[in-house]
Amino acid sequence: MKNLPADIDLVTGCIHNDRRAQERLYKQFYGAMAAICIRYTQNEEDTTEVLNNGFLKVFKNIQHFDPEKAGLYTWIRKIMVNTAIDFIRQNSKHAVKLSLDQTTEPYIDSEAIQKLDAQELLALIRKLPPATQTVFNLYIIEGFTHKEIGLKMGISEGTSKWHLSEARRLLQKSLQTLSVA
């Protein structure tokens, strides 16, 4: 993604602690970053906490932004995803220490998913246990491999696969419950 001159001006302003530039950056990226944070959290309070912590990290580290390496959106998105993972790690009371080399993939009826609107699907994903929800988001939405997820979350590749399988199983169960209702 190419950086626009306006993005570079915005970053320069933020580096110099220009409050108007910081406000513009926040407003410009708030909606997209909030959508990312919502996928990783269980409720609105957690979403707000992750979002605010993420933007705090953005402003504290804006001088490290390198327009040659990534676009501003991509750089901020990476910070938000990592902030969400840190939040989940800090708030996980019971980390699941399972490791399965092979998992079976539960079948999810695509017709049932197509009948849901985005808010209903998000609500189902947010009901997943935090670690399972995070692996699901990282794998399905962000496109990380199980190896990358394992490194980011401090779990084994097999555990990442288990969480993905568990997410699919739980979502399938929720979809079946909705179909019956």
Specify the CATH number for the domain of residue 127.
Answer: 1.10.10.10
Return the exposure string of 11-30: e unless at least 16 CB atoms fall within 10 Å of the residue's CB, then b: bebbeeeeeebbebbeebbe
Residue 148, Cβ density class (10 Å: 0-12 exposed, 13-18 middle, ≥19 buried): middle
**Domain that includes residue 17, residue range:** 5-91
Count of structural domains, the chain: 2
Digit-coded pLDDT (tens) for 32-87:
999 999 999 989 999 999 999 999 999 999 999 999 999 999 999 999 999 999 99
In contact, 113 and 125? CB cutoff 8 Å: no
Amino acid symbol at 70? A
Last residue of a domain, one of 91, 124, 141: 91
Write out the DSSP string of 38-68: HHH-SSHHHHHHHHHHHHHHHHHHGGG--TT
Same domain, 72 and 10: yes
Digit-coded pLDDT (tens) for 106-158:
444 445 445 556 778 788 888 999 999 999 999 998 999 999 999 999 999 99
Rounded Cα distance, 108 and 25, in Å: 39
Q: CA gyration radius for the chain? A: 18
Same domain, 75 and 127: no
